[in-house]
Structures are given as structure tokens and as C-alpha cells.
Amino acid sequence: MYDYVIVGAGSAGCVLAARLTEDPDVSVLLIEAGPPDSIENIHVPVAFSQLIHSQVDWDYSTLPEPFANHRRVGLPRGKTLGGSSSINWMVYIRGHRADFDGWREEGCEGWGYDDLLPYFKRSEDNERGACEYHGAGGPLAVSEGRSRNPMTEAFLDACDQAGQLRNEDFNGAEQDGFGRYQVTMRDGRRCSTAVGYLHPAMSRPNLTVETFTQVHRVLFEGARAVGVQAARLGELRDFRAEREVILCGGAYNSPQLLMLSGIGPAELLTMLQIPVVADLSAVGQNLQDHAGTGWLWTHDEPVSLLSAMSDENVAQFAGEGSGPLTSNGVETGGFLRTGEHLPAPDLQYHVAGAMLLDEPIYEHGLTLAVYPVKPASRGSLSLRSADPTVAPFILHNYYAEDSDMQTIMRGMRVAREIAAQPALAPYTARPYDQPDSDSEQDLRAYIRRHTYTTFHPVGTCRMGADAEAVVDTELSVRGVQGLRVIDASVMPSIVRGNTNAATIAIAERAADLVRGVEPLAAVGERAATAGV
């Protein structure tokens, strides 16, 4: 028997396990379906691409996407300690003030920007030191990138030549502009939530971690969650929770597990012969993601990440923790709003000193990727089977709302303008599979053919004060007791930018809610009037 059973040792689960076990009188079981994060490629930043389709990836895919040429889009998700923070691109972006204030205005009291900023700061150990917007001394290392690829640096020069704004801190007073991304690394190596939060807590006697253990369902006595049933090495076991069960499986696995446990649309559950515990039609709905595409070029300059594994670079990484092996792939980029009427940026750019494609291309190249950061399209997730080992149906419905297509087309045209500047001329000699023109017809066809996810699914267990929300503003599941969901699935709407930092901040604040302690005080008027 444990006080808390946490399902999923990902970005949120590791935070919760570390924070809850700070109290020596509280016992916690953390369950992870995948292996420990001991694979070396997890910790070498540039090797992130080698983790896709590996044993540490759930390796999901969408149903045929109706507005993306009916293609099945691959959906990598971390299946190891640290979850997706162990396989992601390590870009540290919080989102825009308007994102969190939007949550609060929609009824999620306590989840505005001023409420969450103290938790962002508590999580951070920022290399730049503590200030109004940043924290130092927290578990999550946030640092400057130690790789300066000539192509990604040339991109910033091209932005200057194109008259675009520069931004030195996307998580400070303003988000707009282009610059270098800060990354979740320490000494040139990945700092996942497993590295930052979980590993330092593993020696605590009140924390138990079970890997290679897949949870099949939540156990109930009446309407109260009392534990979980899970399979480890083919053996079914029950793990009991005295206080609460907390789901941290992410935007795909948390709603799947709720439905497998009898919480979801009653009609679907009845059809699959799953006893209904709570009829919550919104479970699995409201699925959002950042989908995009990019321009690619090949060239003959031997400066891309294709040559990162040279003996010289390996020695530099081992000896100094720097060089191309510390690259997170997308070293530079930025945010752009395509209309003065917009309250915040509607586009994000990622610039990679490599060819970012589903299939490997063994040529030196450059990728300039674009995606809408506040998409209007919504997808859904549902059970394919009552068998917990069967992947769910996932349909993101990319570009179902044509406004998303219009936004990305505007972004692609701006990207091509930047790419045409003199600074990038050495690297844009040979366009790769680009359309003949920037006409709407050609751009639409290209985008539908080449759209991919940027690994940011959210929203399928939406938080809200309304009766239709899956969880309330304390992240407790409606209609039952003793069960919470704490991960990216509770976001009512997606944030502008990479979602990992926001997920960590949600888990930090949720840890205080679970412990029953007073939340950190919201920031004062000075920050409240700032630009972000």
C-alpha cells in the first residue's frame, strides 16, 4: 500500500514523484511502462533522432488525416523514465502570457500567467541566473546551447537582412522575434525531468519506481479510485493507493487509461463491454497539436549535423561537453505574428542544420520549419479495443479549420523571404522537393504532402470549471474520487511554443495542490504589466 500511485514517469510524473516524496511521511509508487533512461543516446543531445521508433518510443501514428492527403502521421512519445522529455528536442519555451491568461479567463482560476510564473521559476536552474522572469537553483537545467552550427547562425544574420526582430529571451518580456533557443541541458547533456527531478530523489526510502510495468486500468471501490492493475513481465499485479491515483500518461495515454477504467463516453464504453464508472463524453476530445512543415535545401558545405559523429566531435563532447554532439537539432528560430491585430505570435520557426524528414537523406542540408502556434483545428482520441496493449485511435484533424492552412502558408512565404537573403546563400543552392511557386494551390499541395507533428499533443482531459470539463481546476477527475490527471492533457488550449516547460510548471503547481499546501503567491503588479 502506498499513499500515492503515479502512472507515467514522464515530464509531469517525475516532477510529482520528486515533490511529493520531499515529505518523508508520504510513500509514492511511480510506474513506468518503458525501461530506465540508461540508453546513452538519450543523454547525447544530437542523437535524439535515433530514439524515434526505438524501445523508448510508444511509436504511435494518426489515422489517415483527411486534410493532409490521408497520410498517417507518425507520433513519437517517450516510453522511458523522463517520458517525452527524454526524447524531445530540448527547446525551453514556456508559451505566451495570453495562453495562460486565456485559461484563467475561461474559468481556470489559479492557472493564469501570474499564477504559473512562480512555478516556472521554481523549476528552473537557468544558466543566466535568477531575475524577474527566471529562476536559479531549481531541478531543471536551462542553458545556452553549446553548439553553434554555421547554418543556424547564418539564419539569424538573414533575419537581420530581412528586417526581422531579434529576441534574446523568448521567455522574458516579449516572445516576438528571432534568436537562439535556450535548451534543457546541463554541461552539454540532456536534462530530462528524470535527470533533473527523479534521479536525485531515487535514494529516498519513501519512493518506489517500477519500470517495464504497463498499467491496464484504475481500480475502483464504488466511485473511489483505490489503486491500479498493471502487467510486469507478463504478470498482472494490483498496486493500492491510500490517498490518490494520479495519471501522468500524457495526451494519448491518460485518456486511453481513463476509458479503459470506465471513465469516458458511456456509449463507446458499453460497446466495448467496459463497465461505466463515470460518463464523461469529453474524455479524448479537444486534441490539439502543433503541426507544420518546412523548406529544405541540400548543399556541398560539410557543416551539417550529418558529420556530427566525427572522432574530433566525439572527443570534444567527451572532454568539454560542447560541439556538434550537444546540438538539439533546432538551435535557432523564433516567433512571428502575421497581422498587427493579433494579440500574440501565430507562428513559430525551427531552424535545423540537417535534413528533417521522415526518411533519412544522407546529404548536407538545411531545414527551415514553420508551424501555427495557436491552431483552431481539433482532433480526438478513442479506444480501438478494450485490450490495454492495443494503441488507441488518434485523429488530429490537421487543417480541418482552413485558418490553420492560411496561417502556415503566410509563414512559409516569410520563411522563403528569409532564406533568399545573402547570409544563407551558401546553404540554399539546391531546393529539395519544393513547389514551383508560392501560389496558394502549390503551397496547399506541398503542406498537405509534407506535414508532420512537432510532438506537442495536449487537451484530451481538459481542465475547466464547467460541467463538460474532464478535470476541475484542482485536476481531479469529475464524477469520481481519489483520481487526478496531471500532464499536458489537462491544458484547455495549446500554448504558443514547445509544450514541455508548461507541462513541468503544471506539475509543479499540482504538487502543491495534492499536498494541500498554499500555492506560491502570484507575481506582483510589475510582472503583471509586462509584455508577455
Q: Which residues have CB under 8 Å from 425's CB, separation 6+? A: none
Please tell me the distance from the alpha carbon of residue 262 to that of residue 483, in angstroms, as a whole number. 13
Burial (CB < 10 A; 0-12, 13-18, 19+), residue 279, is middle
CB atoms within 10 A of CB 450: 19
In the residue annotation, 456 being an active-site residue is answered as: yes
Contact, 78 vs 499, CB < 8 A? no
Residue 16 to residue 346: CA distance in whole angstroms: 32
What residues form DSSP beta bridges with 183? 91, 143
- Backbone phi and psi for residue 6, each to the nearest 5 degrees, phi listed first: -105, 125
Within 8 A by CB and 6+ apart from 125, the residues are 135, 136, 137, 138, 139, 140, 141, 142, 186, 196
Helix (H) or strand (E) holding 209: strand 207-210
Residue among 96, 290, 299, 456 flagged as catalytic: 456
Contact (Cβ atoms closer than 8 angstroms) between residue 220 and residue 109: no
Sequence-ordered list of residues with C-beta below 8 angstroms from that of 174, at least 6 positions apart, any chain: 167, 531, 532
Give the SS3 label for residue 161: helix
Contact in structure between 503 and 488 (CB atoms under 8 Å): yes
DSSP-assigned states of every residue in 405-455: HHHHHHHHHHHHHHHTSGGGGGG-SEE-S--S---HHHHHHHHHHH-EE-S
**Alpha-carbon radius of gyration of the chain:** 22
Residues facing 231 on adjacent strands = 214, 236
Active site residues: 456
